[in-house]
Structure 1
Amino acid sequence: MLFTDQMGHQLTLPALPQRIVSLVPSQTELLFSLGLEDRIVGLTKFCIHPEPHVKQKTIIGGTKNFRMDVIDKLQPDLVIGNKEENYKEGIEALQQKYPVWMSDIYTLEDALRMMQEVGRLTGTAARAAELAGEISRGFAALQPAQPPISTAYFIWRAPYMAVGSHNIIAHILQRCGFRNVFLDLARYPEITPELLQQAAPQLVLLSSEPYPFQEKHIAEFQALCPQALVKVVDGEMFSWYGSRLLHAPAYLQGLIRDVREGLNS
């Protein structure tokens, strides 16, 4: 069968893939959720869900540095990657040898389409549609903050880096009613303390990934923005666009409630 991925690349699968390599943590978790555990042969060192099942699979390196020799030994009949999380040169090298399907995710709708396409690719379309439907209903019931709350969402420290525009985190923030104060900047802009103070957000969110922000970092941002509420959040709930999205609406609704209470106290 002929398939077209989310970057417009075409690939042909002569039969249902039996040896799948996943290059993206959130999509790895999706494959397990689709019941494909026995057909997953390789994944990255950042693929941590679902435990302990991922530990039984071959590690092919990181998302930005594949070990081509390991992948060659696995002889995959399907490789699944992502435009943002993987690197162009590595993907192009794999495309010379194997069928590679790439996702390109900016919105919840993109993520739901990805799930259904991966379902088609792997012969699990019914289960994928079930997952996508459940996630869609969960987000439809999400009640955003009203009025919107001006927010800065940080993903890195030394230097400070925040979420800007045109990425899945920015989209999820918008769905929560958290107005991103850096939406007019680059996708992941470097933010100086002065720029943060000028933006004067009501809310500062510190993500647990990729930088592992913890409670001890709250005081650092509180000193820069004494008027703001500063909270550490589970980054997976904002940036993992596979089956982890099943858990996101309940988490986000709780966060919205806690933020409202914190700002009103």
Structure 2
Amino acid sequence: MKIEDQLNRTIHLKEIPKRIISLVPSQTELLCDLGLKSALVGVTKFCVHPHNIKKEVTVVGGTKQIDLKKIKSLSPDIILCNKEENTKEIVEACELICHVHVSDIFTIEDSLELIKQYGDIFDRHKEAGEIIARINEEVADFKVFIKDQPTLKTAYFIWKKPYMVAGSNTFINYLLRLNKFENVYEVSERYPEVNLDKKHVNKTLQVVLLSSEPFPFKEKHKKIFQENYPTAKIVLADGEMFSWYGSRLLKAFRYFKQLRLNLHNDQLY
């Protein structure tokens, strides 16, 4: 079987992989939703869905630092990576052990393509097709819901010390646009650092979203943002909904609807 991953790398598989290592949390969740939990032999310490996965499967490190000895000892048939989550060095090191598939996600279409690829690789065509169909239904329904909602000038913060936001060329920015959140930092690539000093802040902001990951913004962090953005609504955002792809998208659009309704109820517009 010949498969191309999302970096257009060709993978030649003699048979369906039976022992899988996932180095990406959202892809771990997707594999389990495809019915492949029993095939997982290694995950990262950030793989939190399903809830007990780290107790049931060997943890092989994080997404940026891995234990190659441990990975090798698990005798995987395939290791699943992501261009953003994992470094080029990790991918190259894993390729010395077994087949490596790399995803590269910027849009929902990319996410659906990945689900289909996993369906092909692991012989889960039916399950993959069902997830894809349900996501398409959720997206279509949400587009009807959001159509007449106003566009809100928004910033999406992902990190503290230094403060960093989501910019263009990211999956987060794609979902912000879909939500009619006009990302004021879209002019910058990827994840730029920003100055929170009052002299530099954007005075037109209507919404500031503080993500729950990778930095875990909490209620206590809202005060400093409110001081710098006195006319904006400061909201704690579920980072998994804005940055996880795969089967997480089955839940994301209901969350987005509720987020928008909350902003409306707070009389933001």
| Contact 2:24/2:44 (<8 A) preserved | yes
- CA deviations 1:137-160 (Å, max 9, x no partner) are 101111226221000000011111
State how far apart, in whole Å, the 1-side matches of 2:50 and 2:97 are.
Answer: 29
The answer to whether residue 140 in structure 2 is matched with residue 136 in structure 1 is: no
Moved over 6 A (4+): none
SS in 2 for 1:197: coil
Counterpart secondary structure, 2:101:
strand
In structure 1, the partner of 2:72 is: 72
Q: Provide the residue aligned with 1:187 in structure 2.
A: 190
| Post-superposition CA distance 1:3-24 (Å, at most 9, x none) | 0000011111111111000010
Which residue of the partner structure matches residue 164 of structure 1?
167
C-alpha displacement of 1:197? 1.8
| Corresponding residue SS for 1:3 | strand
Matched, 1:262 2:263: no
- Cα distance between partner residues in 2 of 1:59 and 1:91: 17
Q: In the TM superposition, what is the alpha-carbon distance from 1:199 to its structure 2 partner? A: 5.1
TM-score (norm 1): 0.97
What is aligned with 1:227? 231
Q: TM-score, normalised by structure 2?
A: 0.95
Q: Aligned pair 1:176/2:215, yes or no?
A: no
Matches within 5 A, 1:1-265: 1-142=1-142, 143-144=145-146, 146-194=149-197, 197-198=201-202, 200-264=204-268
The separation in 2 between residues aligned to 1:169 and 1:199, in whole angstroms, is 22
Do the aligned partners of 1:119 and 1:128 also contact (CA within 8 Å) in 2?
Answer: yes
Say whether the 8 Å CA contact 2:158–2:165 is kept in structure 1: yes
Task: Structure 1: state its 5+ residue gaps.
Answer: none
Alpha-carbon distance change, 44 to 138 in structure 1, aligned in 2, over 3 angstroms: same
Q: Which amino acid aligns with 2:86?
A: N
Contact 1:214 1:232 in 2 (8 A): yes
Equivalent position SS for 2:266: helix
Counterpart residue type for residue 119 of structure 1: G
Q: Using the TM superposition, name which of 95-104 and 193-202 deviates more.
A: 193-202
* Aligned length, in residue pairs: 265
Change (3 A) 1:229 1:69: same
SS in 2 for 1:90: helix
**C-alpha displacement at 1:48, in angstroms?**
0.7
Percent of residue pairs identical = 43
CA contact (8 A) 2:233 2:268 kept: no
Shift of 1:261: 2.3
Q: Distance in 2 between matches of 1:198 and 1:171?
A: 21
Residues 45-102 of structure 1, C-alpha deviation per residue, up to 9 Å, x if partnerless?
A: 1101001234210111110011110011011111111000001111111113311111
Partners of 2:34 and 2:244 lie apart in 1 by 16
* Cα distance between partner residues in 1 of 2:49 and 2:200: 34
CA offsets, 1:216-257, max 9 Å, x none?
Answer: 111110000001011101100000112111110100000011
Aligned counterparts of 2:175 and 2:203: Cα–Cα separation in 1: 20
Amino acid at match of 1:125: H
Alpha-carbon separation, structure 2, partners of 1:125 and 1:198: 47
